[in-house]
Amino acid sequence: MRYSALIGNPTEHSISPLLFEWISEQLSQPIEYKHLKIDISQTSELSPALKAFQTLKFCGLNVTLPYKLDVISILDKLDDSISSIGAVNTVVFDTKKNLSIGYNTDWYGIYRPLSGVIAEYQKKKALVFGTGGAARAAIYAVLELGIKDVVVLYRIAESNRTKSLQNQFSDKTTIRFDVYEGIVQHIDTADIIINATSTGMVGQDAKTPFALDLLKNHEDLSRKIFFDCVFNPVNTPLASYFKSSGARTIDGLWMMIYQGLYAFMLWTGNDVLNTLTEDNLLILHKLLQKRIQHV
């Protein structure tokens, strides 16, 4: 039996056990697999929790809010991408070397779906809503796609996470920061728009970070791609707006699926990123969407 877990606070909304246990059943040689959801109530509990998982021979962890940054300092080793992203969402336990290694698979969850649909003319400018951990992954993903102009919109200039993000990418002249008041101009010129806020997520504020009325004159967004990092619910207010305006929309379940495939590969060594077919993944998407509707 192989074990992994999701840690964060809260975790009850997650459907990741279904995701990983389904993946394990699709292997050419299926393995017995369990993925647990564990609430960590405060930061001081992170270190002893990781040691306990390592002792119990878990193959790894997914890390969700609010610990994607806090977990970095207690890991033994970090993947090279972390120096650029500045957030960890996946931990691998190397049992042979007794090491805990931090990775970020969120960026791949954004990169892979976009890479399959983006046209060359859409690689000029990306617009990112938010400055949290998902925004860090989104910035890294669009840079990997070859986009040279990235604008990040924020609500509160003085917030610690906004300042931290600005410092993280201070050496990148291709990344600019602005407040939402400038959104109309940025929507006009952006090819890819990514919602990296929790707007519309179950248990979070459904209010959009800007008034949708600001975009009332933008009825045709058909040449743009909108990517939503929120997966529960699948259809958020922002996704519904951009879809109704003609944009190609990609829901957050695809981010969850692809980051999960990458994490599973790191934990088990099974190359599910390249062995599962598109039809397999569409079945998985429908299965996860159905589960969300009954959570």
Other CB atoms within 10 A of residue 138 CB = 32
pLDDT score recorded for residue 288: 96
* Interval 124-146 mean pLDDT: 94
User: 16-25 and 252-268 helices cross at what angle (nearest 10)?
Assistant: 50
Lowest pLDDT segment from 144-148, 217-221, 222-226 = 217-221
The larger pLDDT score, comparing residue 258 to residue 161, is at 258
Lowest pLDDT segment from 3-12, 130-139, 199-208 = 199-208
User: Residues 257-289: pLDDT tens digits?
Assistant: 999 999 999 999 999 998 999 999 999 999 999
* Percent of the chain at pLDDT exceeding 90: 73
pLDDT score recorded for residue 249: 97
| Residue numbers annotated as active site | 68
Output the DSSP codes for 243-288.
HHTT-EEE-HHHHHHHHHHHHHHHHH---HHHHS-HHHHHHHHHHH
Alpha helices in the chain (DSSP H): 16-25, 46-55, 82-85, 106-115, 133-144, 160-168, 183-189, 237-244, 252-268, 272-275, 278-293
CA atoms of 111 and 108, how far apart (whole Å): 5
pLDDT score recorded for residue 54: 96
pLDDT at position 294 over 90:
no
List the domains of the chain with CATH numbers.
2-104+254-293 (3.40.50.10860), 108-250 (3.40.50.720)
pLDDT score recorded for residue 191: 96
pLDDT score recorded for residue 203: 62
pLDDT score recorded for residue 38: 97
The larger pLDDT score, comparing residue 197 to residue 214, is at 197
User: Residues 20-46: pLDDT tens digits?
Assistant: 999 999 999 999 999 999 999 999 999
When the pLDDT of each residue in the chain is averaged and rounded to a whole number, the result is: 91
CA atoms of 191 and 150, how far apart (whole Å): 10
From the number of C-beta atoms within 10 Å of its C-beta (0-12, 13-18, 19+), residue 40 rates as buried
CA atoms of 5 and 258, how far apart (whole Å): 17
* Residue 36, token pair as written in the block: 């647990």
pLDDT score recorded for residue 173: 74
pLDDT score recorded for residue 175: 94
From the number of C-beta atoms within 10 Å of its C-beta (0-12, 13-18, 19+), residue 102 rates as buried
pLDDT at position 70 over 80:
yes
- pTM for the complete prediction? 0.93
